[in-house]
Structure 1
Amino acid sequence: MSEGREDRSWRLGDHVSAMYSADDECRDLLTRYVRAGVRPGQRVAVFLDADDADLARHLTAAAPAAAPGQLVITRYGTGGFDLTARTGPALVERMLDGMAAMREQAAGDGYGGLFLAGKMTWALRAGLGADELVRYEAAANRFFGDARVAGLCLYDRRRFTKDALTAIAAVHPGPLLRFTVGGWGAHLRLSGELDASNAAALPSILDIVAGADSTVLLDASELRFLDAAGAGTIVRFAASRPHRSTVVRCTRGVRQTLHLVGADTVPSLVLRDQVSGV
């Protein structure tokens, strides 16, 4: 990702990974993220390591305008995030359940959204391998499809292998691609750009609506760019549901790319102009 743009691009619906190589770099990333969430009045929750007391104090001081309870800084291993007794799928479920509870609490307290950020070193202590961590991040895409939340996952280049970081970054759609799940469960909205940097995230995003026993509406009206790999994923998704229509509302450029990779050969795939109804 382009690490100079976070404070301008972060918003609800994001699921972004950020890599850092030094403690001060991590501090600066978190400072900008906290301020980006506090400024419009969202609740901001940050998860830090047990030895990050100085960083916690810095972040608190960096957001003097935060209302009481608006900025929540938590250490892994405490409260609902005690990870010591969980492994594999149970650990992933515990993390996602904990984040969902925080989202509902933020809504109950009157906040319009929740900005979440966390140092991902907890995964190393929990013994998650690279493949398991990629599966966790793919599962988290479903959670961040809720337009009430944003997520920043911080990875220390000194602790994770280059191959692991490449795979992990690929399943994070942000900051170039955003998606939200509509009011009915088979409505998925894509915006931004879908290219080689985030195309690996698309299957887990489409999985959110894959089980719908109805027409799926994929609203790509605000998708500015779609590469051939992403277009192929959409065409294969439609082909996997031969008895239920997949309607893609899109621009002329996106439509042309879909045609190039075989959209015409899939009867269940219906392409509509971006201003048309379903």
Structure 2
Amino acid sequence: MTETTSDRTVPVERLKLGDHACMSLREVESPWKVFTAYTRTSLARREKVLLVMNPDDMNDDDVVALMDGGSGHVAAARESGQLSLKRNTEMYLPDGRFQEDRTIDLYTEEVNRAQREGWAGLRLTADMSWAPKVGLDHDRLLDYEASVAPLFADPLFTAICWYDQERFGDGLLNDMAKVHPLRVLENLDSIDATATPEGSRISGSAELGSRAEFIETLREALDHRDTTGPARFVLDLRDLCFMEAHCAWQLISLAGALPDGSEVTVRCGELLGLVLRQLGADEVPQLVLSVEDDEVAV
């Protein structure tokens, strides 16, 4: 079970307007599956999307083709202006120098433009690789990331700032997690588990590709409890965007195997609560469902 310094680690599908998140990747990894899901979801919600990329990345036509996948929806969004593509030098270093206030003003204008154009909000991804290229001091970069908080006060703006692990190093990335309220999972089918004061939080997607990891994560959460008597703890699954039936059945089975008198409170959204109840969760006395309205459609 991993510990994170951000308050929450979430799959990209759980981001909502007003969220400021970071994501880190190694050079051999690609962010485009995550960004494609992020973009398609945002376009469907009638939000504008702004992708701020490295100048050395793919050209705009290739990016659109990759995310479009032949559907025509992403290409149409680019034609209508709902999708905008820029380079990070344009947003952060227009004259070769970085000025915090100028950058914040540029993003404020992008949010205002999206609103004027009639979109529900603005979703951003920003490649932060420009910073080491100009030798920007780490403390100054951290100060900048902290200073953009007012942009998210009015929930019209969502941003993922993504950092290359090899280029920035673990030290800076750990600090970045402290100034970003959320961390985005780097893969669509991954699982992340975090200890909480009440028990455990599991986020991600419990599907065929991550089934074994999810079940092992569940076992680990239960194994950390005192098995000599009844156990009482909270399993927070509100940031789990999908759970297949087999994984849901495993959760019910593991809870049912706990000693009599144990109580596992599962906090989840309506859809997951429905799946668990259909599989017999209400018949397991050790399992208590605490169902909340889903913030994001899954």
Using the alignment, how far apart are the partners of 1:60 and 1:72 within structure 2? Answer: 14
User: What's the counterpart of residue 97 of structure 2?
Assistant: 86
Residue 13 (structure 1) aligned with residue 3 (structure 2) = no
1:4-35 per-residue CA deviation (whole Å, 9 max, x = no partner) reads 7112x111010000011135432222222212
In structure 2, stretches of 5+ residues that fail to align are 185-195, 198-235, 237-298
Whose RCO is larger (CA < 8 A, sep 6+)? 2
Relative to the length of structure 2, the TM-score reads: 0.53
- The SS at the match of 1:36 is helix
User: What's the counterpart of residue 118 of structure 1?
Assistant: 126
Relative to the length of structure 1, the TM-score reads: 0.56
What's the offset of the Cα at 1:36? 2.4
Using the alignment, how far apart are the partners of 1:147 and 1:4 within structure 2? Answer: 18
What's the offset of the Cα at 1:170? 1.0
Q: Aligned runs of 1:154-169 on 2, under 5 Å?
A: 154-169=162-177
Residue 134 (structure 1) aligned with residue 145 (structure 2) = no
Change (3 A) 1:167 1:19: same
Q: Aligned runs of 1:25-36 on 2, under 5 Å?
A: 25-36=30-41
Query: Percent identity at matched positions?
Result: 26
Number of matched residues?
A: 175
Q: Aligned runs of 1:116-265 on 2, under 5 Å?
A: 116-174=124-182
Using the alignment, how far apart are the partners of 1:29 and 1:83 within structure 2? Answer: 28
Change (3 A) 1:5 1:139: same
Using the alignment, how far apart are the partners of 1:168 and 1:56 within structure 2? Answer: 31
| Contact 1:41-1:111 within 8 A present in 2 as well | yes
| Contact 1:115-1:151 within 8 A present in 2 as well | yes
In structure 1, stretches of 5+ residues that fail to align are 177-194, 197-223, 225-278
| Contact 1:42-1:115 within 8 A present in 2 as well | yes
User: What's the counterpart of residue 69 of structure 1?
Assistant: 81
Q: Which deviates the most, 33-42 or 23-32?
A: 23-32
- The SS at the match of 1:97 is helix
Higher Cα Rg, which structure: 2
Using the alignment, how far apart are the partners of 1:44 and 1:23 within structure 2? Answer: 25
Using the alignment, how far apart are the partners of 1:153 and 1:59 within structure 2? Answer: 20
| Contact 2:88-2:126 within 8 A present in 1 as well | no
